[in-house]
Amino acid sequence: MSFETASGKGVETENFPVASFLLKKDLRKDILSYYHFAREADDIADHEQLSADEKIRQLDYFAEPFNSDEARHKKEWPIHSIELRKIFCDRHISKNHALDLLVAFKQDAYKLRYENWEELIDYCNHSAAPVGRFLLDLHQESKESYIYADALCNALQIINHLQDCAEDYQHLNRVYLPLSFMKDNKCDVEILSAPQSSSALRQILNLCLERIDQELMPKARLLPFNLKNKGIALQSAIVVEIAEQLINKLKIKDPLKKKVKLSKIAYLKAFLYGIIKYYINK
C-alpha cells in the first residue's frame, strides 16, 4: 500500500521543539515516532491532488492497526502506525491519542469551513490536544494536567491557522477563521485571496488572537508548573514562550503579505526566556 505524502514538512519546520534535548533519549524516540505518524497522516489530509474520499480511504489504513486485535501486522498497514501501536502497548498509553488525530485529519478532508469559535475549538480538541496528552502520558504525568496541555496545544493550533490562513484557502479552499467573525465584519472568505489584509480581516485576526489570549493562554501558562518531570516542564515553558512571541508578532504583522514566523534568533531567545521564566516563577 503506498501513501501520498511528501509535503516537505518536518520537525525543523514546526513552530515548537518536537523532542528537544531536555527530554530523556528513550522518550525522544517515541515522540518522534508519534510525530512521523501524525505528519504522514496530515500530509494525506492536506494533499492537493487527492479527493476527499481517497484521503479518508488512506487514513482508514492508519487507524486499522489500533483497532485490530491481530498480534501480527498486515503488510498494507503504515509503518508509523505499527510502531506507534507497539509504543502504546508497551507504555500503556491510550490509542485515542492517535485515533483522535485521525478524526481531525478525516474532518480536514471534507469540512472546509467553521461556523464559529466553538466549532474551531472542537476541531482543535481532536487535531492538537491529543499531542499534549500523549506527551503527558508518556512522561507519566497526572491526567489532571490535561486541561493546561489542551489549552496550550489548541492555542498553537489556532496560531498556526492564522499563520497559514492565506495558503490554506488558496491551495486547499480550507478556512479555519470562524465564519461568524466574518459575518460580524461584513466580509467573506475571498478576502483571503488578497495580497494583503483588509481592515476587516485585520479585525478578524485580532479577534482570534484576543480569544487565544483570554481563553487559552491563561491555562497554558500554568502547564509547566503542574508537571513533575523537569524535562517536559522546561520544554512546555519554552513552547509557552514561543506561543507568546508568535501571538505578539501576529498582532503587528500581516500573514497575507508574508508568513509570520520567528527568526532563528527570536526562536533562540524564546528558548532561553522560557527556561528563565520557569525558574523565576517556580
Structurally, the chain folds into a number of domains equal to 2
In contact, 165 and 152? CB cutoff 8 Å = no
Are residue 117 and residue 43 in the same domain, yes or no?
no
Are residue 144 and residue 281 in the same domain, yes or no?
yes
Measured CA to CA, the distance from residue 62 to residue 103 in angstroms comes to 11
Task: Say if 5 falls within a structural domain.
Answer: no
Are residue 237 and residue 165 in the same domain, yes or no?
yes
Q: What is the pLDDT of residue 20?
A: 85
pLDDT single digits (tens) 53-95: 999 999 999 999 998 766 556 667 789 999 999 999 999 999 9
Q: For the chain, 282 residues long, give each residue's pLDDT as a single digit of tens.
A: 444 455 555 556 677 777 788 899 999 999 999 999 999 999 999 999 999 999 999 999 999 999 876 655 666 778 999 999 999 999 999 999 999 999 999 999 999 999 999 999 999 999 999 999 999 999 999 999 999 999 999 999 999 999 999 999 999 999 999 999 999 999 999 999 999 999 999 999 999 999 999 999 999 999 999 999 999 999 999 999 999 999 999 999 999 999 999 999 999 999 999 999 999 998
Task: Say if 13 falls within a structural domain.
Answer: no
The Cβ of residue 122 has, within 10 Å, a number of other Cβ atoms equal to 14
Domain edge (last residue) among 110, 126, 161: 110
Q: What is the pLDDT of residue 18?
A: 78
Are residue 159 and residue 76 in the same domain, yes or no?
no
In contact, 77 and 37? CB cutoff 8 Å = no
Domain harbouring 155, CATH code: 1.10.600.10
Are residue 65 and residue 120 in the same domain, yes or no?
no
Task: Say if 72 falls within a structural domain.
Answer: yes
Measured CA to CA, the distance from residue 72 to residue 29 in angstroms comes to 22
Q: Which domain holds residue 237?
A: 111-282
Are residue 49 and residue 157 in the same domain, yes or no?
no
Task: Say if 4 falls within a structural domain.
Answer: no
Measured CA to CA, the distance from residue 131 to residue 150 in angstroms comes to 9
Are residue 145 and residue 221 in the same domain, yes or no?
yes
Are residue 182 and residue 153 in the same domain, yes or no?
yes
The Cβ of residue 2 has, within 10 Å, a number of other Cβ atoms equal to 6
Task: Say if 261 falls within a structural domain.
Answer: yes
117-127 and 146-163 helices cross at what angle (nearest 10)?
A: 110
Measured CA to CA, the distance from residue 149 to residue 269 in angstroms comes to 22
Task: Say if 12 falls within a structural domain.
Answer: no
Q: What is the pLDDT of residue 4?
A: 47
Domain edge (last residue) among 92, 110, 128: 110
Please report, as a single letter, which amino acid is at residue 134.
Answer: F
First to last CA, the chain: 50
Are residue 121 and residue 164 in the same domain, yes or no?
yes
Domain edge (last residue) among 110, 131, 151: 110
Are residue 159 and residue 104 in the same domain, yes or no?
no
Are residue 252 and residue 160 in the same domain, yes or no?
yes
Are residue 63 and residue 29 in the same domain, yes or no?
yes
Q: What is the pLDDT of residue 42?
A: 96
